[in-house]
Structure 1
Amino acid sequence: MSFAKNLATVCRMIKIEHSVFALPFAYMGAFLAAGGWPGLYNMVVLTVAMVAVRSFAMAFNRYADLDIDRENPRTQKRELVTGELSTRFTLVFIGGTALVFVVACGLMNSLCLKLSPVALVMAASYSFCKRFTYWCHFVLGTVLGFAPVAGWICVEPVISLPSVLLFCGVTLWVAGFDLLYASQDADFDRKRGLHSIPARLGIPAALGISTLSHAAAAAFFLLAGWAAGLGGIYFTVAALMGVTLMAEHLLVKPDDMSRVNVAFFTMNGVISVVLFVATAVDLAVGSW
């Protein structure tokens, strides 16, 4: 199998299109730190770093979960399970994306470079969390929650209040939709001895915690806008996105998981992109 074909297959394995979840929040952090356009250089190295670390995390997760994916009917067509990708190629890909991430962080500033090993360890650690804690969804949320902080320190190497509030919002936002996604595997996780809130508390309770997480996330997004001094454009859009988050929960019922992918990908992908666009427009209008 050629390298190009392997690369195309690995892009399917890591669901490269799901970069839409975290990348816009990294851009939000960069734009807020700069008070507008952060410069082409910062945007390029930030994009490379974010795509690299997310690719690293997804490939590592697929490798670490290979034994589980072989048993779960929902995941038996994944590329490592079917043999479309070899474990050797996947390990090389994991090492390569880790190296690209570290180099990209080094091209940002010294703080980003120093924090890059911590980011890699955190990105990899999620893969093992469901083996021992029911709160694995919030661990995943924390990993993606660092996206706006990363964007901020790429431009200005300090930890700021707006980036911390965005971290809280993204953490709860991701945990909320991961709870929806994990509800599909509640029965399998329970039988396999894996830990998740749907398996431990049941799907109705998981959906309730997901709703509360999203309500809190919407509040943190509004607070982040206030801390950053954003205006009416951002707050109007953020409020509408909060309503959208709540509407998401009308799509998924404890006895009907058929529309999880619509809630998981389509609606949540829209939310991250729209919040970033609202931030960029608000900053641009405010500078006129």
Structure 2
Amino acid sequence: MNKFMEILRMIKIEHTVFALPFALLGMIFAAKGIPDLKTFTLVILCTLFARNAAMAFNRYLDADIDAKNPRTKDRSIPAGRLSRFFVLVFVIVNSILFIGTTYFLNSLAFKLSPIAIFIVLFYSYTKRFTSFSHLVLGLADGIAPAGGWIAVTGKFDFKIIFLSLAVMLWVAGFDIFYSLQDIEFDRSEGLYSLPSRIGVKKALYISRFFHFIVVVCLFYFGYIVKAGMWYWIGLSIASLLLFYEHTLVKENDLSKIDQAFFTVNGFFSVIILIFATLDFYL
């Protein structure tokens, strides 16, 4: 039981609230409502397996870095609660489960699954050589709505790009917030977070720009799929949440990063999912 709880802590199971709602959103728009139970279940499993692999691989790859960082030195591997070998096996098992689960969806999902798992794992390397690592993380999560769409239809549709792009920039924007906590550490270790390279003020401007484009993409997506009133109400509320998020984090006051990162963004994704779902049933 202790190891199980440690695994949940390692993969930050509560952060599933970021990617999963958008995977479900892509699925719901493709099916024009809740799809059959098989598809619904498989999409949830695929999202969980991919996310488990990505989070565990990040902890595996960054174990030595985490051990040096006062903020992260108590994570599972540096603290000795899980071994690197165990975590690597966990990554491999979840990657195989992800690919295997896509087989039961359709042929396109199965063919694309190795590319998807490569992207979500590759992110962990990127902060070693590029300040665009935030966008790579965004891409890893941006796959989710496209995956949900493909799971239902078995084909790719140009429309879903705008939802995926919105998720990509949304995640990149709030990941910039998150990296503000480690700005001095990243500089000392030669890591390539955006704030450590261009400073807090410019990084916050870029985050705001990303989130402005998020709203534009969600607006255009709603337009091309002919969304109804409930979608627009949800988008309005979610847009106000993004604005509120940017009032919490200031260049000279980073004390509310956790509130901006987790609480506000958790509500953002769930609100869009709920109101978009209501659009098909009310």
Q: TM-score, normalised by structure 1?
A: 0.96
One-letter code of the match for 1:45?
A: L
Secondary structure of the corresponding residue to residue 255 of structure 1: coil
Check conservation: 2:234, 2:275, Cα contact below 8 A: yes
One-letter code of the match for 1:48?
A: L
Deviation at 1:239, TM superposition (A): 1.8
Partner deviation per Cα, 1:2-28 (whole Å, 9 max, x = no partner):
xx3222201101101101101000001
Residue 189 of structure 2 is aligned to residue 167 of structure 1: no
Report 1:244-263 matches (<5 A): 244-263=241-260
Deviation at 1:283, TM superposition (A): 1.2
One-letter code of the match for 1:95?
A: I
| Alignment partners' CA distance in 1, 2:34 and 2:117 | 28
Report 1:12-23 matches (<5 A): 12-23=9-20
Residue 49 of structure 2 is aligned to residue 58 of structure 1: no
Q: Which moved more, 1:160-169 or 1:72-81?
A: 160-169
Partner deviation per Cα, 1:32-73 (whole Å, 9 max, x = no partner):
111111111111000001000001000000000111101111
Residue 112 of structure 2 is aligned to residue 119 of structure 1: no
Partner deviation per Cα, 1:150-190 (whole Å, 9 max, x = no partner):
00000002222331110110011000000000011111111
One-letter code of the match for 2:48?
A: V
Deviation at 1:137, TM superposition (A): 0.3
| Alignment partners' CA distance in 2, 1:131 and 1:178 | 16
Report 1:244-283 matches (<5 A): 244-283=241-280
1:191 aligned residue: 188
Deviation at 1:232, TM superposition (A): 1.4
1:217 aligned residue: 214
Residue 245 of structure 2 is aligned to residue 241 of structure 1: no
Q: What's the RMSD between the two structures over aligned residues?
A: 0.9
| Alignment partners' CA distance in 2, 1:189 and 1:157 | 42
Any stretches of 5+ residues in structure 1 without a counterpart? none
Check conservation: 1:161, 1:227, Cα contact below 8 A: no
Partner deviation per Cα, 1:178-231 (whole Å, 9 max, x = no partner):
000001111111111010110010011111111111111011111111111111
| Alignment partners' CA distance in 1, 2:265 and 2:64 | 29
Give the share of equivalent positions with the same residue, in percent: 41
Residue 141 of structure 2 is aligned to residue 144 of structure 1: yes
Which residue, out of 151, 156, 162, partners 2:153?
A: 156
> After the TM superposition, which parts of structure 1 deviate over 2 Å for at least 4 consecutive aligned residues?
none
| Alignment partners' CA distance in 1, 2:46 and 2:94 | 9
Residue 205 of structure 2 is aligned to residue 208 of structure 1: yes
Deviation at 1:120, TM superposition (A): 1.1
Secondary structure of the corresponding residue to residue 78 of structure 2: helix
Which residue, out of 25, 28, 40, partners 1:28?
A: 25
Aligned residues: 282
| Alignment partners' CA distance in 1, 2:39 and 2:77 | 35
Deviation at 1:244, TM superposition (A): 1.1
Which residue, out of 11, 14, 17, partners 2:8?
A: 11
2:46 aligned residue: 49
Deviation at 1:240, TM superposition (A): 2.0
| Alignment partners' CA distance in 2, 1:37 and 1:121 | 29
One-letter code of the match for 1:25?
A: F
Secondary structure of the corresponding residue to residue 199 of structure 1: helix
Deviation at 1:251, TM superposition (A): 0.5
| Alignment partners' CA distance in 1, 2:244 and 2:266 | 14
| Alignment partners' CA distance in 2, 1:135 and 1:91 | 26
| Alignment partners' CA distance in 1, 2:158 and 2:268 | 22
Check conservation: 1:162, 1:225, Cα contact below 8 A: no
| Alignment partners' CA distance in 2, 1:280 and 1:173 | 20
